[in-house]
Amino acid sequence: MRTELRDLLATTTGLYSAAAWSVGTADEVLDRGVLGTRWHGGPAATEDSRWDLASVTKPVVGIVVVALAERGLLGLDDPLPRHLPAYAGGDKAAITVRQLLAHTSGLPGGTPLYREHPTREALLEAIRTGPLRSSPGTRVEYSSQGFILLGLIAEAAGDAPLDRLVAELVTRPSGLTATGFGPAEGFLADAVATEDCPWRGRVVCGQVHDENAVVLGGVCGHAGLFATLGDVERLGQVLAGGAQALLKPASHAEMIACHTEGLALRRGLAWQGLDVPDSPVGTALEPTAYGHTGFTGTSLWVEPDRGRFYVLLTNRVHPSRSTPGIEKVRREFHTRAAVL
């Protein structure tokens, strides 16, 4: 095992209690490891520990949506009401599936809807009736609300619950055996803790960290997936090899292409492009790199031209989300990993 990445992550444990990482290609893992404890003062994190992936859930749900489009069950340019009739006639009726995937829908970003809308029905109604921040297609604004709607669209088009669609279209074809949404009984007995949450009055361990996702029942389009290092590593290998187990080459190419030309930020379909100079993973990766980060301290990035993947999993919100420094660690991790 190499020491560059272990040394970096071991010296920054004040930002989290545990970290896991993997770097490699479709055929070979170049470096990987796990260090730290599942919570401060708790048992050691292991290969079997499950991490709250937070918004790394979004590209997994995006793959589901694109796979359904391949099967003719939806169109990427379908307007929202085609699958969610309650949106007909309102200010969101012209929003398309593609705009939701590319974060150009005009829907707001990280609004804490759970505070005033403590039931699933009330929270979804708040999304339906809330104001747009901009006209669809005119601006990139990262929106969890948009991916909540994509989860509902996938369920309507696929005629199945979202967790089943993720299993059928992503985890099983990729060979993932320890990835899923949180509510399954006993699934998260070995979860890595996240925040000492003021809203819940306890340290969160085994429940999704995102509060809006809690209100929605834990299975939703924007957050909620948990996985082991090995499973995220395997997904990275599938993507680095061209995602042939998941999508046709043309569909995969469309997902990772930039769909926001002329706008300030580079976004694919459910994937983030490399925004220079403000990329969360720095500038050492190739310009065509794509990936996603999660608020809990997770990330998965891929360099398609080099056929490489990069996984970094931490619980940087433990015990508090206010501890600064994960941005610097992410950038340094990818800078060092890119030259392995």
Show pLDDT as tens, one digit a residue, over the chain (340 residues). Answer: 678 999 999 988 789 999 999 999 999 999 999 999 999 999 999 999 999 999 999 999 999 999 999 999 999 999 999 999 999 999 999 999 999 999 999 999 889 999 999 999 999 999 999 999 999 999 999 999 999 999 999 999 999 999 999 999 999 999 999 999 987 667 788 999 999 999 999 999 999 999 999 999 999 999 999 999 999 999 999 999 999 999 999 999 999 999 999 999 999 999 999 998 889 999 999 999 999 999 999 999 999 999 999 999 999 999 999 989 999 999 999 999 999 9
* The dihedral sign for the CA sequence 298, 311, 241, 259: positive
pLDDT score for 110: 84
pLDDT score for 184: 65
**Who's near 338: CB < 8 A, 6+ residues apart?**
284, 285, 303, 310
pLDDT score for 60: 98
Closest Cα to residue 140, out of 108, 104, 110, 105? 104
**Interstrand relation of 272-273 and 202-203 (parallel, antiparallel or unpaired):** unpaired
Burial 8-44 (b: 16+ CB within 10 A, else e): bbeebeebbbbbbbbbbbeeebebbbbbbbbbbebee
User: Alpha helices of the chain — where are they, by DSSP H?
Assistant: 4-10, 57-70, 97-101, 120-129, 144-158, 162-166, 172-174, 211-215, 229-240, 249-256, 326-337
Longest dimension (CA), the chain: 59
DSSP three-state, residue 160: coil
pLDDT score for 69: 98
pLDDT score for 188: 83
pLDDT score for 164: 98
Closest Cα to residue 76, out of 293, 242, 328, 269? 269
pLDDT score for 318: 97
Say how far apart CA 181 and CA 53 lie, in whole Å: 10
pLDDT score for 11: 86
pLDDT score for 2: 76
Say how far apart CA 2 and CA 6 lie, in whole Å: 8
pLDDT score for 182: 84
pLDDT score for 246: 98
